[in-house]
Amino acid sequence: MVTICIIIVTSVVSLIAMYNHQLFYRLCFSPTMIIQNKQWYRTFSYGLVHADFMHLFVNMFVLWFLGLQVEKAYLYLWGNPAGLGLYLLLYISALFFSTIPDIRKHADDDSYIAVGASGAISAIIFAGILLFPLQKLYILFIPIGIPSVIFGILYLIYSAYMDKYGHDNIGHNTHFWGAIYGFLFAIIFKWKLLVAFFTQILQIF
Cβ–Cβ < 8 Å for 112, 31: yes
Cα gap 147→137, rounded to integer Å:
6
Cα gap 14→151, rounded to integer Å:
29
Task: Give the type of residue at 143.
Answer: P
Assign 167 a pLDDT band (cuts: 50, 70, 90): low
Q: Is the peptide bond before 81 cis (omega within 30 degrees of 0)?
A: yes
What is residue 166's predicted lDDT score, i.e. its pLDDT? 63
pLDDT at 73 over 70: yes
What is residue 138's predicted lDDT score, i.e. its pLDDT? 76
pLDDT at 168 over 80: no
Phi, psi of 99 (to 5 degrees): -95, -15
Task: Give residues with Cβ within 8 angstroms of 44, minimum separation 6.
Answer: 92, 95, 96
Cβ–Cβ < 8 Å for 74, 83: yes
Cα gap 146→158, rounded to integer Å:
16
pLDDT at 12 over 90: yes
Cα gap 95→124, rounded to integer Å:
11
Please compute the mean of the pLDDT values over residues 19-47 and round it to a whole number.
95
Please compute the mean of the pLDDT values over residues 76-105 and round it to a whole number.
95
What is residue 162's predicted lDDT score, i.e. its pLDDT? 85
What is residue 141's predicted lDDT score, i.e. its pLDDT? 61
Average pLDDT of the chain, as a whole number: 92
pLDDT at 65 over 70: yes
pLDDT at 107 over 90: no
Q: Pick the residue with more confidence: 129 or 173?
A: 129
Assign 62 a pLDDT band (cuts: 50, 70, 90): very high
